[in-house]
Amino acid sequence: EVQLVESGGGLVKPGGSLRLSCAASGFTFSSYSMNWVRQAPGKGLEWVSSISSSSSYIYYADSVKGRFTISRDNAKNSLYLQMNSLRAEDTAVYYCARGVSGSYPEWFDPWGQGTLVTVSS
């Protein structure tokens, strides 16, 4: 069974940093692109970042470019999101989602259950 489990969320002050992790199992992690998508409380889905299977291609939403860094460790079947200079508007549930093979994001399936990040003083 394909499983994605996010961790690392929590409460952080504005300007602070946080590192999210996503542990993958049940599939050949190194063959798939991976993605982060967030959802602010009561709001819709917002794509954050994507990384290709070999880390050759990385994409960011304009809202996080220069502040967030996506990375992966294929040996550990893990995806990461380093978040710096956090703002109140970054408060959201962050989902890890599997992509498809290839150099750019297409659809996302499946998704993890998400981890909540709250940015507040």
Q: Nearest approach, Cβ of 63 to another protein (angstroms)?
A: 10
Closest to 29 (Cα-Cα) out of 77, 95, 69, 76: 77
The correct pick among 21, 55, 61, 84 for binding another protein (CB under 8 A) is: 61
Phi, psi of 30 (to 5 degrees): -70, -5
Secondary structure (DSSP) of 53-97:
TTS--EEE-TTTTTTEEEEEETTTTEEEEEE-S--GGG-EEEEEE
Instruction: Provide the mask over 75-114, with x wherever binding to another protein is found by CB under 8 A and - wherever it is not.
Output: --------------------x-x------xxxxxxxxxxx
Q: Nearest approach, Cβ of 13 to another protein (angstroms)?
A: 27
The correct pick among 44, 56, 66, 75 for binding another protein (CB under 8 A) is: 44
* Rg from Cα positions in the chain: 13
Contact footprint for another protein (CB under 8 A): 35, 37, 44-47, 50, 59, 61-62, 95, 97, 104-114
